[in-house]
Amino acid sequence: MESPELQIKRYKLDHVVDRVRKKYGFSALVKASSLIQGATAIERSNLVGGHNGGNAYE
């Protein structure tokens, strides 16, 4: 269980991250592990629900 102080710090950080992503898009803030070769978070952020939004039969 986290201390109340740590919970408040995490809440504030999450709030700031949410505001930045809302204003600049998801890929404006990503974890460093998303920058390594083979990572998919940035690429998938441009898809609809993490999936290709186009016609599946094309």
* Ramachandran assignment for 52, one of left (phi > 0), alpha (psi -120 to 50 degrees), beta (any other): beta
Whole-angstrom distance, CA of residue 58 vs CA of residue 42: 23
Per-run averaged pLDDT (10 residues), the chain, 58 residues: 95 96 88 82 71 57
Whole-angstrom distance, CA of residue 38 vs CA of residue 40: 6
Q: Model pTM?
A: 0.62
Residue 10, pLDDT score: 96
Q: DSSP character for 35? A: G
